[in-house]
């Protein structure tokens, strides 16, 4: 039953930018309620449990079966972030509390919030070829 719910949610979004669209929807519907996290410990966990494998060490995003959204300076509220980790709407693996505690998630959240986001490409000449 749970799986059906997940697939139903996923049906609301387009294929390529499914995860990004989900992030936006969550950001619009939920309040900011982030715990004070330890960004340093969050970085350690982010690298250890494999977050970086899809989302990149700089939170720049990537891809597996579908796109893995950008996490650097994420605007996603903590509840949405945690919900995506515990019960993802797409092909992202679900991390249960057996492998990732709520505190761990809070620390990861603090870390990705601290990562520098996008700059203006105009400041980087070779991106304007």
Smallest separation (angstroms) from other proteins to the CB of 76: 15
Query: How many residues are given for the chain?
Result: 129
**Does 114 help bind other proteins (rule: CB under 8 A)?**
no
Tokens of 123: 């400041």
In the complex with other proteins, the residue whose CB is nearer, 32 or 57, is 57
Contact between 90 and 21 under an 8 Å Cβ cutoff? The reply is no
**Does 49 help bind other proteins (rule: CB under 8 A)?**
yes
Smallest separation (angstroms) from other proteins to the CB of 31: 26
In the complex with other proteins, the residue whose CB is nearer, 6 or 103, is 6
Cα separation values, 14 from 24, 45, 61, 68, 80, Å: 13, 30, 17, 14, 19
Which parts of 11-40 interact with other proteins (CB under 8 A)? 11, 14-18
Q: Is 27 exposed, middle or buried (0-12, 13-18, 19+ CB in 10 A)?
A: middle
Q: How far apart are CA 56 and CA 10, in angstroms?
A: 23
Stretch that binds other proteins, among 3-11, 23-31, 75-83, 106-114 (CB under 8 A): 3-11
**Does 59 help bind other proteins (rule: CB under 8 A)?**
yes
In the complex with other proteins, the residue whose CB is nearer, 92 or 110, is 92
């Amino acid at each position: 039953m749970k799986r059906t719910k997940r697939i139903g949610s996923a049906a609301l979004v387009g294929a390529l930018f499914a995860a990004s669209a989900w992030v936006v929807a969550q950001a619009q519907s939920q309040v900011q309620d982030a715990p004070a996290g330890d960004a340093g410990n969050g970085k350690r966990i982010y690298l250890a449990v494999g977050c970086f494998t899809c989302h990149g060490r700089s939170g720049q995003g990537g891809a597996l079966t579908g796109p893995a959204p950008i996490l650097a300076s994420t605007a996603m509220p903590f509840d949405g972030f945690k919900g995506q980790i515990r019960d993802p709407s797409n092909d992202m693996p679900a991390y249960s509390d057996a492998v990732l505690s709520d505190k761990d998630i809070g620390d990861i959240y603090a870390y990705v919030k601290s990562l520098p986001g996008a700059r203006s490409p105009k400041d980087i000449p070779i991106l304007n070829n």
